[in-house]
Amino acid sequence: MRLTLALLASLRPRQWVKNLFVFAGVIFSQQLLTPRVWPALAAFAIFCGLSGAIYLFNDVADVDKDRLHPSKRRRPVASGALPIGAAIGFGVLLLAGCLAAAFRLSPAFGLVALAYGALLTAYSVWLKHLVILDVLTVAAGFVLRAVAGAVAVDVEISGWLLICTILIALFLALGKRRHEYRSLTGDAAAHRPILAEYSEGFLDQMISVVTASTVTTYALYTMSPETVAKFHTRLLPLTLPFVLYGIFRYLYLLYRRDLGGNPSDILVTDRGLLLDALLWMVTTLAIIYGSRWAS
């Protein structure tokens, strides 16, 4: 029983909120209330398994550094609750099973899932040690989630969707790096060597650029002729205040509360962010699907 609980903790269920990006394709193609939602749900489950396998491999690769970290040392692999052999064995089985299920869902989806698994495995082994490429790889993982969701339900992927996804993912990844840099102070490089290549000022500059780009891109998306023609409504700019509040709230937590080390945990634990995300989703769905029913 203890081994099962340790294994479940290593899969990090709270992090599965990131896989909600898989639903972007079915939602913004206005197919959420059609049978196409079922392959989207299957894609979400497969990506939860894939990401869980990657977390297992990452914990094994970082076990020595995690044991020196003030909080990561409590992870099952680092603490010894989950033996390294068991973590590797289950990770391989989970990865293989999820990839097999992905190709069974559709060959195209299987290829995207394979690309995601390969990219994130390369991140755990190599790419996380390369400055700037480390955060770009994390952002690319989010883009592949969105692409996979669109491929799974066989809808066209929007360029706007990809740009907004990579920008918001970069925003969160850079915020996490900044929190790690500050919270670990002089020991940052010992726990995550790539942090030696960053500085607080450099991270702040990149966060500023990505923040402005994210807001601008989303605003342009809501007002673009392509979006208006697709959804037959000019009301999507009404969702912009929720995006602004969400970004500003996260910056407040990052800069004033010294949080941001785990964006997924913040989303589900901070009431302001959680409520804002729910209101954005409800408002967006009401506008997109309301315009469809009205027409």
pLDDT by residue, tens only, the chain of 295 residues = 788 888 888 888 888 888 999 999 999 988 888 999 999 999 999 999 999 999 898 888 878 777 777 777 888 888 878 888 888 899 999 999 999 999 999 999 999 999 999 998 888 888 888 999 999 999 999 999 999 999 999 998 888 888 999 999 999 999 988 888 887 665 655 566 788 888 889 999 999 999 999 999 999 999 999 999 989 899 999 999 999 999 999 999 999 888 776 788 888 889 999 999 999 999 999 999 886 665 5
Whether 149 and 197 map to the same domain: the answer is no
- Other CB atoms within 10 Å distance of the CB of residue 110: 21
Q: What span, in angstroms and rounded, lies between the C-alpha atoms of 81 and 64?
A: 15
Last residue of a domain, one of 157, 176, 195: 157
pTM higher than the cut 0.85: yes
- Other CB atoms within 10 Å distance of the CB of residue 14: 14
Residue 264 token pair? 């997924």
Whether 136 and 168 map to the same domain: the answer is no
Whether 130 and 200 map to the same domain: the answer is no
Whether 142 and 185 map to the same domain: the answer is no
Last residue of a domain, one of 114, 138, 157: 157
Phi and psi torsions of 129, nearest 5°: -100, 5
Whether 153 and 7 map to the same domain: the answer is yes
Chain centroid to CA 187? 26
3-state DSSP of the chain: CHHHHHHHHHCCHHHHHHHHHHHHHHHHCCCCCCCCHHHHHHHHHHHHHHHHHHHHHHHHHCHHHHCCCCCHHHCHHHHCCCCHHHHHHHHHHHHHHHHHHHHHHCHHHHHHHHHHHHHHHHHHHCHHHCCCHHHHHHHHHHHHHHHHHHHHCCCCCCHHHHHHHHHHHHHHHHHHHHHHHHHCHHHHHHHCHHHHHCCHHHHHHHHHHHHHHHHHHHHHHHHCHHHHHHHCCCCHHHHHHHHHHHHHHHHHHHHCCCCCCCHHHHHHHCHHHHHHHHHHHHHHHHHHHHHHHHC
**Total structural domains in the chain?**
2
First to last CA, the chain: 55
Whether 143 and 289 map to the same domain: the answer is no
Whether 105 and 223 map to the same domain: the answer is no
CATH number at residue 135: 1.10.357.140
**Single-letter amino acid, residue 169:** A
Whether 170 and 99 map to the same domain: the answer is no
Last residue of a domain, one of 157, 176, 201: 157
pLDDT of residue 185: 62
Domain holding 164, by residue range, is: 158-295
Residue 212 token pair? 């402005």
Whether 131 and 13 map to the same domain: the answer is yes
Chain centroid to CA 115? 16
Whether 96 and 23 map to the same domain: the answer is yes
Asked if 10 and 61 count as a contact pair (C-beta separation under 8 A), the reply is no
Whether 174 and 63 map to the same domain: the answer is no
Whether 171 and 145 map to the same domain: the answer is no
Asked if 274 and 211 count as a contact pair (C-beta separation under 8 A), the reply is no
Q: What span, in angstroms and rounded, lies between the C-alpha atoms of 72 and 59?
A: 9
Give me the residue label for tokens 């992905």: 102
Q: How far is CA 44 from CA 104, 113, 127, 270, in A?
A: 14, 11, 25, 24
